[in-house]
Amino acid sequence: MAAGTSSYWEDLRKQARQLENELDLKLVSFSKLCTSYSHSSTRDGRRDSSDTTPLLNGSSQDRMFETMAIEIEQLLARLTGVNDKMAEYTNSAGVPSLNAALMHTLQRHRDILQDYTHEFHKTKANFMAIRERENLMGSVRKDIESYKSGSGVNNRRTELFLKEHDHLRNSDRLIEETISIAMATKENMTSQRGMLKSIHSKMNTLANRFPAVNSLIQRINLRKRRDSLILGGVIGICTILLLLYAFH
């Protein structure tokens, strides 16, 4: 019976890790899609002013965005279901309720699910904001071209309006470049966070398997803390003595 329940737990962990790996790849692609959409929209703004037809590239990216968003939501739902099954397993009558290793593993998978969910909603919101901004800018460009073709006169007001529009477009391009840098930094931070979590998990596993190692680590930490307190006290005393000597 114990072997059967242990095998069930390992199957759940395997499913969770597989879904987490798939989500990680999907979220990276999702973030790159948002970045490429921003860049392509900037290039689209530099097209010939006579071209007012919708771009197939933007439509294709919109469809890709919707498809990837649905796939990620489905993966998140499946991972949530696996986590729920793991929680039910830890609360079942045949499993010790105070098993620290199982609870720690479950909490780690829950944290990963929460991080992926937060990252997905944040990236999706950024994409929607960029798309709405580009739609607004496209509408402004169409209004400008319509006004120019209807009047046929480049008066002073039109020139000022066009200059202001160019200024806004340049500012928008700078913002998009800043967003791209921030998203690249976020991807690097996500990768480093995954590595640190993996190292932390391995250290906890070693500590749980070898209590002596855990005890040794605790003693080392206590000794480091004691040495820090002693060093701080010595530095404080020396500082006081130097101040007294300086004022006398």
| Per-residue tens of pLDDT for the chain, all 248 residues | 455 567 888 899 999 999 999 999 999 988 888 777 765 555 555 444 444 444 435 567 788 888 999 999 999 999 999 999 988 888 775 555 557 778 888 899 999 999 999 999 998 888 888 878 877 776 666 666 666 665 555 566 777 777 787 878 887 787 878 777 878 777 777 888 778 777 767 777 766 666 666 677 778 888 888 888 888 888 888 888 888 877 76
**Which pLDDT score is estimated for 40?**
59
User: Quick one: tokens of 25?
Assistant: 């790849």
Evaluate whether residue 175 is within a structural domain. Answer: no
Evaluate whether residue 74 is within a structural domain. Answer: yes
Q: To 10 degrees, what angle do helices 156-209 and 100-151 make?
A: 170
- CATH number, domain at 23? 1.20.58
**Which pLDDT score is estimated for 76?**
93
40 within 8 A of 60, measured Cβ to Cβ = no
Domains identified in the chain, total number: 1
Evaluate whether residue 90 is within a structural domain. Answer: yes
Show the domain range for 33: 1-40+58-146
Evaluate whether residue 51 is within a structural domain. Answer: no
User: Quick one: tokens of 173?
Assistant: 């391009």
pTM assigned to the model: 0.49
Evaluate whether residue 191 is within a structural domain. Answer: no
Evaluate whether residue 50 is within a structural domain. Answer: no
């928008």: which residue's tokens?
172
Evaluate whether residue 221 is within a structural domain. Answer: no
Evaluate whether residue 179 is within a structural domain. Answer: no
Distance between CA 116 and CA 175 in Å, rounded?
A: 25
Distance between CA 107 and CA 113 in Å, rounded?
A: 10
